Amino acid sequence: MNKIADGGSGGGVKAAINVPINDAAAMRVVGYYTKFGGWIDALGPGGGKDVNSGERTGGRVSFTFQPTRDVTITPRLVTQKVTADGFNRQEAFNLYANRFTTTVAPVTLQDRQQYLLQREKFEDKTTIADATIKVGFGSFDLTSVTTYTDRDILVSRDASALTGSVSVDLGFPSAGVLLPSRLNDTTKFKGFTQELRLSSAGKGPLQWLVGAFFADTDRKYAQRLPTPGYDAFTNARFGAGTAAAVANGFPLESPYNADIPYNLKQTAIFGEMSYEMTKQLTATLGGRYYDYKEERTFKSGGLFSDGNNNFDKTKSDGFNPRVLFAYKASDSVTFNGQASKGFRLGGVNDPLNVPLCTAQDRAIFGGYQRFSDESLWNYEIGVKMQKPGISFNAAAFYTRMKDLQVTLDAGSCSSRVVFNVPKAHSSGIELEMTARPTDNLQLALSGAAVNAVFDSTVRDGSGAVLGGIRDGNRLPSVPKLQLTASFTYNFSLAGRESYITASVQHVGSRFTQPSDQENNPRTFVANLPFLGAPASAATTVNLELPSYNVVNLSTGMDFERGLSAVLYVNNVTDEKALLSFDRERGGRARLGFATNQPRTIGVTIRKTF
């Protein structure tokens, strides 16, 4: 159980049991339930306290059958359901709650606050069934892995500010602007994968593996924007029957609807061979041939849509090689170096919501329908050291990216568009170190220093730099420095084994989108005359997500008969970290940050039988 500072309470239970069936079979069953406390308070008609609370339930059952010494069969069934009553969004501006309004009381939103006309919801149901079969043939093993996944996701957001901001631009009266509106995003995913591997068994200078992989996935994504009462204002503004005329077969009273079914098939053949060239030097050579085929349909309807009904195909194939050398300088020190190629499939952007776009945004973002495959080469050298009382791993890397896929908000269009950046790179160092200076004390340090930047500039049709994609600008969401340090001290208290652990995590500053690092701090202008505000109301926000430090403490004790207890305090200093920034319709509707969980105090009790 746990308690969040200025928030809700949480807790959970987890149980596992191993059941021998006979000498050749066994079963393991795991079940769990978790209640997540909330810490975001929402103002407004749909508001409440701790609105982002949630629950998680799930379990898995797995079997192991070994009918002979050389055959092992492991089927497994996993199920999980996660729900949340809201999201960890801290708002800096909301169309309905801001300091500019005069016909309603102005509002200055505080830390960990948001404004809602309707409550929000998240739900994720996942079922995974898989089976692994391994058969030994003496000098080699055959392994088969079959997986089926069924997943349903619902993201239901209060879109009143989004719909209202469009209504303002369309000249609707205040009553139409103030209508509650909800955006329901649903995803239904069904996937089947099959992998077969042949690998060498036993010892020897030559080790090898070859295999084949096949995946067939269907993803049905849909959006609905139910806004009861909206059609009357639509027909009054644009003429009787307009709402039905633009529906394109979708339900009425919903100004935006879309169905986007996908099918993706992937086939791959892979292999890897390692050879001990000397007692100290081992070379590994591998590669993967891939073939992707994706088909999708995009159909949309409603006043905010462009009435699309498109069918698109994407396909790609290629070969990704990998080479690795490992040099064992001594029994405790190994040096390694590798070069490998990676790939990410291109695709087709969703059409812009043209009726929502300003003329400027249509001109900037309208010409980017398709985006190409992304590829990269990664080069890395490292060292691993393992000695009594200390271990140390370090690596330096350089990654060169071609046609890097970058996602940008298309401003007023309320769309996201993927672009290709011709060249970019990432370089840095990573390290992990643990030390045990005494039998009771263990120290650990890990971290990474990364320089990730664009090496190209992308310009729009007017010649202006597009979305901050400028040579030398940082890649989004990548901090320059991350560090984690911890210590654990073991001791005996009242004759019982006990410990205390402390850790601190540092994450450097970041930018959510490339454009955030230009003209920052940024001023966003909203159109608010319906609430008696000035024709344009400006909100200035610093878009550089500041660095933060999170300190965690825990202490535990082992009791008799398999009983143990742990007392913990996470985020001891109650650090308020900003994790990402979100702007709706380019800042016309809502500005907000995802934020972390406040200080949490809890206790965990374990019992083994």
- Amino acid 601 reads I
Q: Is the dihedral of CA 470, 475, 477, 482 positive or negative?
A: negative
- CB under 8 Å, gap of 24 or more: what pairs does 454-463 form? 454/404, 454/421, 454/423, 454/424, 454/514, 455/422, 455/423, 455/424, 455/425, 456/421, 456/422, 456/423, 456/424, 458/419, 458/421, 458/422, 460/363, 460/364, 461/363, 461/364, 461/367, 462/363, 462/364
pLDDT in tens, 193-233: 999 999 999 888 999 999 999 999 999 999 999 999 999 99
3-state secondary structure 315-375: EEEEEEEEEEEEEECCCCEEEEEEEEEEEECCEECCCCCHHHCCHHHHHHHCCCCEECCEE
Q: What is the spatial distance between Cα 125 and Cα 157, in angstroms, rounded to a whole number?
A: 18
- The letter for the amino acid at 133 is I
Please write the tens of the pLDDT for every residue from 115-133. Answer: 999 999 999 999 999 999 9
Tell me which residue of 387, 271, 285 sits closest to 326, measured CA to CA: 285
Residue bearing the bigger pLDDT, 509 or 348: 509
Structure tokens, 514: 């490339």
Surface-to-core class of residue 269, CB atoms within 10 Å of its CB (0-12 exposed, 13-18 middle, 19+ buried): middle
Backbone φ/ψ region at 461: left (φ over 0), alpha (ψ -120 to 50), beta: alpha
Looking at the predicted structure, is the pLDDT value of residue 461 above 80?
no
Tokens of 432: 């992990």
- pLDDT, position 408: 86
pLDDT of residue 484: 98
What radius of gyration do the chain's Cα atoms show?
A: 28
- Cβ proximity of 396 and 337 under 8 Å: no
Question: What is the helix (H) or strand (E) element at residue 160, kind and residue range?
Answer: helix 160-169
Which residues make Cβ contacts (< 8 Å) with residue 108, sequence separation at least 6? Answer: 99
User: What torsion, rounded to 10 degrees, do the Cα atoms 546, 479, 402, 460 define?
Assistant: 10
pLDDT at 137: 93
Query: What pLDDT score was predicted for residue 439?
Result: 92
Specify the DSSP element, H or E, that contains 572: none
Is the pTM higher than 0.85? The answer reads: yes
Weakest-pLDDT range from 9-13, 229-233, 346-350, 565-569: 346-350
Q: What is the rounded end-to-end Cα distance, in angstroms, of the chain?
A: 22
Q: How far apart are CA 446 and CA 441, in angstroms?
A: 17
Cβ neighbour number for residue 448 with a 10 Å cutoff: 19
Cis peptide before 521 (omega within 30 of 0): yes
pLDDT computed for residue 369 by the predictor: 81
Amino acid identity at 170: L
Residue 278 burial class via C-beta count within 10 angstroms: exposed 0-12, middle 13-18, buried 19 and up: exposed
Q: In whole angstroms, give the CA distance from residue 93 to residue 85.
A: 21
Task: Return the higher-pLDDT residue of 537 and 123.
Answer: 123
Mean pLDDT score, 539-567: 95
**Which residues 6+ apart lie within 8 Å of 93 measured at CB?**
109, 524, 526, 539, 541, 587, 590, 591
Identify the bridge partners of residue 181 per DSSP, sorted by sequence position.
none
For 437, the token pair is 């200076």
CA dist 189 and 211 (Å) reads 26
Query: Which among 386, 294, 387, 310 is positioned nearest to 351, based on CA atoms?
Result: 310
10 Å Cβ neighbour count for 437? 10
Instruction: Give dist(CA 97, CA 382) in Å, integer.
Output: 53
Task: For strands 578-584 and 71-84, give the pairing.
Answer: unpaired
> 224 with 184: CB under 8 angstroms?
yes
Residue range 224-248: mean pLDDT, rounded: 95
What would the two tokens of residue 467 be? 């979305």
- Which 8-state DSSP code applies to residue 382? E
Cβ contacts of 63-70, under 8 Å, gap ≥ 24: 63/21, 63/25, 63/26, 63/27, 63/28, 64/25, 64/26, 64/27, 65/24, 65/25, 66/24, 66/25, 67/24, 69/136, 70/135, 70/136, 70/137
Q: Cβ(18)–Cβ(26) under 8 Å?
A: yes
Q: Which of 18, 10, 12 is nearest to 608 (CA)?
A: 18
Task: Give the model's pLDDT for residue 52.
Answer: 97
Report the pLDDT value the prediction gives residue 102, as an integer from 0 to 100: 81
Q: According to the 3-state scheme, what is the secondary structure of 408-441?
A: EECHHHCCEEEEEEEEEEEEEEEEEEEECCCCCE
Helix (H, G, I), strand (E, B) or coil at 236: helix
Mean of pLDDT over the chain: 94
186 pLDDT tier (thresholds 50, 70, 90): very high
Distance CA 453, CA 471 (A): 7
Q: What is the pLDDT of residue 535?
A: 66
3-class secondary structure, 29: strand
**Model confidence pLDDT, tens digit, residues 411-438:** 788 888 898 999 999 999 999 999 999 9
Q: Residue 388: which residues within 8 A CB-CB, separation 6 or more?
A: none
Whether residue 410 is predicted with pLDDT greater than 90 in this model: the reply is no
Q: Can you read off the two tokens belonging to residue 182?
A: 């909800």
* pLDDT tens string 473-524: 999 999 999 999 999 999 999 889 999 999 999 999 999 999 999 999 999 9
For the stretch 598-607, pLDDT in tens is 999 999 999 8
* pLDDT at 366 exceeding the cut of 90: no
The pLDDT value given to residue 333? 96
> What is the per-residue pLDDT for 303?
95
529, amino acid identity? P
What is the greatest pairwise CA distance in the chain?
A: 84
Residue with tokens 């995003």: 185
